[in-house]
């Protein structure tokens, strides 16, 4: 796909999501870009502002504060409404960044009240900069644009925002295009160690033979590891399965105490890191690593964050801290298969179902399969049925179009509109809002998805239910319900922006509105008729009107917190007390909304129908799997079992039938038994290359 074609489709997607409101198109662009920056690991959560004071040359569109790294990011957009791809000149970039710099300077100025009201989103940011300077160690100024950066822009500015160390980032359409079509989860990170003493990091190659995965053992000095985490943050922890939470767990306290009191013993006491990279460059002798491409700490996120935080918060001397590292070189096309296994096998500190965090978990595979197969009804005024496309892994949507002709691509886009593409973190926001966890959604997309020791997150929710019924509750009916939640979420997002009372905090208002609506319905002993919304593919006017009323109450609850609550709105939104306060507010469900609600008996029957259908589909999939493996595969398993004798007589009988494929085929009841036996055999050492 050329960059011009990408730009045209990108603009169409924004227009479709925004509707006819041109102002909202720009806001939608900022929201889209901030979500992308969060996925890429550049920011942690964000608040959209859309603030501009043209006479004073001040503007900021969004901001993000990462307390762990004391890092503040300010975002400004240069959005062009033209469908012709335009250039971003040096003058454009300088003007945009100066607006952000002036905001910081004004916030640090003597009379802050001239700039903004404290209760406004921009006021909250200004007071953060002014009143918490000691909590900010650096500022990143980010320019996002749907124009293409001119080749004449040779360097980024070097001006500081106040006295803060300042870095600059530009995400132009070229960079967006490369990221979106690369098929990679994140933008490449290349780390150069050639300037280290000796010309690189000493390492020991730990692999033999051309068919084995390249592996290295090395010892990483504490200061280098802390510097890497300081610079790249969570971009290094993309595949990690735990969230570090400021030494709250006993393991983290132990690490902290060792770093502070016995740094020379850290190497002996700590299990070290399990890490991967897509490419490793070594010296000619192979004994020093000079460059790493896309380093990922798969196991050892707590170790990394403990070392970094001990230095930053407590001034720990890391000179005698060393960490052992087992580094595996995993090509990008094999990441999904190999990295979860490395994580599971190396994870001995906590009981974590590592697979729940990876895109090849059966839940994600099932949602993907349903999304490709199930047609959504045509919207009113259209005859085109469509799919809601689940992007299980980054870049799937673009990759499926890569080899299509223009006619085929147009057909694909008609059947899979960009506005109906959604990701794992999108799904987490939709579902958690209706599950009445708006305070978790307000933590940011990644934290809402992964959860924490105090909150289950979407992963915890799915894992518990999957284990309870072996995934049968995640079926076509559940998928339709989830898409109904998506329709609600995106509709309320547009509705809130259009209200006269709206002044910011849209993301928080949307999730709190839907959670309150879900709670009101639940308290009435009813359920939302999600299947009706699925059939309509839009929110009817009576529902929209009721949701706007709830949204206004949610907004008031957010911007007028109790005296003993955090005055910072975004922090207040993250507290369960904020949700409890909104829940206690009495609101009535309008009579006109009752047409879109159902009683408990009907809801239960719908879910039972979905589970029964899923059982049938599972049987079909199992038979298909057994048949497609073929007789040769099952003969290999039979020969392996002849030596190891791990299968039961019943399993052997089914296996003998499979060895006669296609003359004989195991039944729908036999196939799952054989698959379970194969899985157990693999765990015992059965392997077919």
Question: Per residue in 97-134, pLDDT tens?
Answer: 999 999 998 888 855 555 566 667 888 888 888 878 88
CA dihedral (79, 81, 82, 85) in degrees, to 10, reads 20
Domain spanning 3-181 has what CATH number? 3.40.1350
Q: Closest Cα partner for 640 from 594, 678, 586?
A: 678
Give yes or no for a contact between 168 and 140, defined as CB atoms under 8 angstroms apart.
yes
Give yes or no for a contact between 27 and 49, defined as CB atoms under 8 angstroms apart.
no
Give yes or no for a contact between 321 and 262, defined as CB atoms under 8 angstroms apart.
no
Mean pLDDT is lowest, of 7-21, 168-182, 376-390, for 7-21
Give yes or no for a contact between 75 and 46, defined as CB atoms under 8 angstroms apart.
yes
Give yes or no for a contact between 249 and 453, defined as CB atoms under 8 angstroms apart.
yes
Mean pLDDT is lowest, of 345-359, 456-470, 558-572, for 345-359
Q: At residue 251, does pLDDT exceed 60?
A: no
Mean pLDDT is lowest, of 157-161, 305-309, 453-457, for 453-457
The sign of the torsion formed by the CA atoms of 269, 274, 280, 285 equals positive
Give yes or no for a contact between 187 and 294, defined as CB atoms under 8 angstroms apart.
no
Give the number of other CB atoms < 10 A from CB of residue 196: 15
- Bridge partners (DSSP) listed for residue 274: 299, 326
CA 641 to chain centre: 42
Q: Closest Cα partner for 328 from 372, 297, 355?
A: 297
Integer Cα distance of 99 and 109 in angstroms: 15
pLDDT digits (tens, 9 = 90+) for 489-529: 999 999 998 899 998 889 999 999 999 999 999 999 999 99
Q: At residue 297, does pLDDT exceed 60?
A: yes
Residue 207: partners with Cβ closer than 8 Å, 6 or more residues away: 213, 214, 215
Q: DSSP secondary-structure letter at 44?
A: S
pLDDT digits (tens, 9 = 90+) for 568-610: 888 899 999 999 999 999 999 999 999 999 998 988 888 888 7
Q: Is the pTM of this model over 0.85?
A: no
Integer Cα distance of 270 and 27 in angstroms: 47
pLDDT band at 249 (very low <50, low <70, confident <90, very high): very low
Integer Cα distance of 381 and 397 in angstroms: 26
pLDDT band at 619 (very low <50, low <70, confident <90, very high): confident
- Check residue 352 and give its pLDDT: 42
Cα atoms in the Cβ-side hemisphere of radius 13 Å centred on 599? 1
Q: At residue 350, does pLDDT exceed 80?
A: no
Integer Cα distance of 462 and 356 in angstroms: 8
- Check residue 111 and give its pLDDT: 57
Q: Closest Cα partner for 675 from 629, 616, 615, 641?
A: 629
Q: Closest Cα partner for 536 from 590, 494, 596?
A: 596
- Check residue 131 and give its pLDDT: 79
Q: For 492-518, b where at least 16 C-beta lie within 10 A, e where not — what string? A: bbbbbbeeeeebbbbbbbbbbbbbbbb
Residue with tokens 């009143």: 131
| Two structure tokens written together for 477 | 């009916």
- Check residue 686 and give its pLDDT: 87
pLDDT band at 183 (very low <50, low <70, confident <90, very high): low
Q: Closest Cα partner for 535 from 375, 381, 412?
A: 375
- Check residue 481 and give its pLDDT: 95
Integer Cα distance of 267 and 88 in angstroms: 50
Length of the chain: 689
Q: At residue 167, does pLDDT exceed 60?
A: yes
- Check residue 480 and give its pLDDT: 94
Residue 33: partners with Cβ closer than 8 Å, 6 or more residues away: 75, 77, 144, 171, 176
pLDDT digits (tens, 9 = 90+) for 207-240: 876 666 889 999 999 999 999 998 888 788 764 4
Give yes or no for a contact between 27 and 504, defined as CB atoms under 8 angstroms apart.
no
Q: At residue 340, does pLDDT exceed 80?
A: no
Give the number of other CB atoms < 10 A from CB of residue 22: 10
Largest Cα separation within the chain, whole Å, is 86
* Averaged pLDDT score across all residues of the chain: 86
Q: Where in the chain is the domain with CATH 3.40.1350?
A: 3-181
Q: At residue 349, does pLDDT exceed 50?
A: no
């Amino acid at each position: 796909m050329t960059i011009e074609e990408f730009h045209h489709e990108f603009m169409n997607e924004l227009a479709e999501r925004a509707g006819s409101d041109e102002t909202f198109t720009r806001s939608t662009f900022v929201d889209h870009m901030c979500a992308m920056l969060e996925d890429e690991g550049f920011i942690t959560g964000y608040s959209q502002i859309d603030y501009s004071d043209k006479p004073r040359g001040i503007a900021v569109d969004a901001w993000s504060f990462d307390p762990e790294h004391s890092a503040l990011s300010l975002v400004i957009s240069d959005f062009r409404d033209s469908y012709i791809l335009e250039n971003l000149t040096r003058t454009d970039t300088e003007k945009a960044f100066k607006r952000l710099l002036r905001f910081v300077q004004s916030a640090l100025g003597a009379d802050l009240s001239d700039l903004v009201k404290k209760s406004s989103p921009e006021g909250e940011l200004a007071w953060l900069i002014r009143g918490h300077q000691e909590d900010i160690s650096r500022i990143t100024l980010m320019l996002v644009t749907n124009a293409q950066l001119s080749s004449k822009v040779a360097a980024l500015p070097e001006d500081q925002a106040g006295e803060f160390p300042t870095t600059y980032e530009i995400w132009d359409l070229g960079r967006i295009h490369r990221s979106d079509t690369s098929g990679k989860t994140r933008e490449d990170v290349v780390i150069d160690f050639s300037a280290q003493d000796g010309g690189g990091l000493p390492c020991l190659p730990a692999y033999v033979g051309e068919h084995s995965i390249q592996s290295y053992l090395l010892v990483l000095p504490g200061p280098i590891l802390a510097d890497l985490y300081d610079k790249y943050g969570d971009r290094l922890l993309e595949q990690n399965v735990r969230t570090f939470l400021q030494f709250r767990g006993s393991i983290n306290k132990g690490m902290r105490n060792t770093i502070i009191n016995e740094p020379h013993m850290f190497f002996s006491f700590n299990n070290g890191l399990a890490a991967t990279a897509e490419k490793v460059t070594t010296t000619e002798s192979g004994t020093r690593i000079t460059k790493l491409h896309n380093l990922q700490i798969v196991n050892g996120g707590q170790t990394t964050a403990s070392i970094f935080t001990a230095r930053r918060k407590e001034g720990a001397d890391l000179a005698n801290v060393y960490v052992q590292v087992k580094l595996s070189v995993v090509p990008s096309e094999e990441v999904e298969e190999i990295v979860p296994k490395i994580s599971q096998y190396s994870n001995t500190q906590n009981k974590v179902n590592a697979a729940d965090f990876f895109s090849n978990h059966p839940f994600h595979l099932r949602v993907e399969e349903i999304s490709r197969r199930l047609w959504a009804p045509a919207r009113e005024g259209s005859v085109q049925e469509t799919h809601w496309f689940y992007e299980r892994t980054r870049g799937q949507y673009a990759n499926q179009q890569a080899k299509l002709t223009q006619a085929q691509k147009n057909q694909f886009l008609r059947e899979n509109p960009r506005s109906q593409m959604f990701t794992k973190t999108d799904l987490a926001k939709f579902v958690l809002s209706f599950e009445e966890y708006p305070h978790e959604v307000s933590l940011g997309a990644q934290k809402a998805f992964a959860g924490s020791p105090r909150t289950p997150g979407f992963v915890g929710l799915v894992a518990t239910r999957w284990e309870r019924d072996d995934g049968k509750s995640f079926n076509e009916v559940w998928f339709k319900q989830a898409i109904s939640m998506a329709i609600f979420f995106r509709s309320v997002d547009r509705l809130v922006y259009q209200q006269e009372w709206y002044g910011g905090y849209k993301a928080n208002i949307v999730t709190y509105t839907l959670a309150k609506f879900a709670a009101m319905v639940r308290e009435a002993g009813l359920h939302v008729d999600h299947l009706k919304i699925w059939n309509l593919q839009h929110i009817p006017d009576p529902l929209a009107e009721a949701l706007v009323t709830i949204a206004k109450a949610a907004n008031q609850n957010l911007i007028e917190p109790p005296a003993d609550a955090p005055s910072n709105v975004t922090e207040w939104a993250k507290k369960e007390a904020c949700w409890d306060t909104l829940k206690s507010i009495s609101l009535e469900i309008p009579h006109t909304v009752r047409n879109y609600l159902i009683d408990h008996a009907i809801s239960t029957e719908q879910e039972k129908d979905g589970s029964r259908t899923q059982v049938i589909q599972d049987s079909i999939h199992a038979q298909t799997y057994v048949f497609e493996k073929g007789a040769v595969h099952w003969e290999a398993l039979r020969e392996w079992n002849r030596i190891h004798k791990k299968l039961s007589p019943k399993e052997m009988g089914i296996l003998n039938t499979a060895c006669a494929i296609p003359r004989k085929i195991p039944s729908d009841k036999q196939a799952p038994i054989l698959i379970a036996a194969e899985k157990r055999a693999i765990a015992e050492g059965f392997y077919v290359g």
